[in-house]
């Protein structure tokens, strides 16, 4: 069972290894580098690579199951919380921001 803190740490570790999730990254197709990233994440969390991959798979499924409910959605990671907002909401909030502040 994953605690909230462990899940947050996993998400932070996952974000710090773009070669795993960013298909434009120069090492995305390098299986050895990707394998090393998964291994380091498992070691950092004191668990197996299979367990880390399983949890990431489940988290991605949870997000993708929610996204079809939105016609236009954007995903934020703010203060260790995953936020999924409609683009309409983001545009409306942007109207309230001072001109010098950018949300993009």
* Plot region of 70 (φ>0 → left; ψ -120 to 50 → alpha; else → beta): beta
pLDDT digit string, tens, across residues 9-63 = 898 898 889 898 888 889 999 999 999 999 999 999 999 999 999 998 888 887 7
Asked if 34 and 78 sit in the same domain, the reply is no
Q: Ranked by mean pLDDT, which of 3-7, 20-24, 25-29, 94-98 comes out on top?
A: 25-29
Asked if 58 and 101 sit in the same domain, the reply is no
For residues 38 and 52, is the Cβ–Cβ distance under 8 A?
yes
Asked if 80 and 33 sit in the same domain, the reply is no
pLDDT score at 70: 54
Count of domains in the chain? 2
Asked if 12 and 56 sit in the same domain, the reply is yes
**Owning domain of residue 64:** 1-69
pLDDT score at 66: 60
pLDDT digit string, tens, across residues 73-85 = 555 555 555 555 5
User: Which residue in the block uniquely carries the two structure tokens 């090393």?
Assistant: 36
């Amino acid at each position: 069972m994953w605690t909230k803190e462990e899940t947050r740490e996993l998400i932070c570790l996952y974000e710090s290894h773009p070669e795993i999730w960013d298909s434009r990254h120069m090492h995305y197709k390098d299986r050895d580098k990707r394998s090393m990233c998964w291994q380091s994440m498992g070691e950092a969390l004191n668990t197996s690579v299979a367990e880390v991959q399983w949890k990431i798979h489940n988290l991605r499924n949870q997000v993708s199951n929610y996204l079809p409910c939105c016609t236009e959605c954007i995903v934020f990671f703010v203060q260790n919380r995953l936020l999924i907002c409609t683009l309409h909401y983001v545009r409306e909030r942007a109207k309230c921001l001072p001109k010098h502040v950018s949300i993009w």
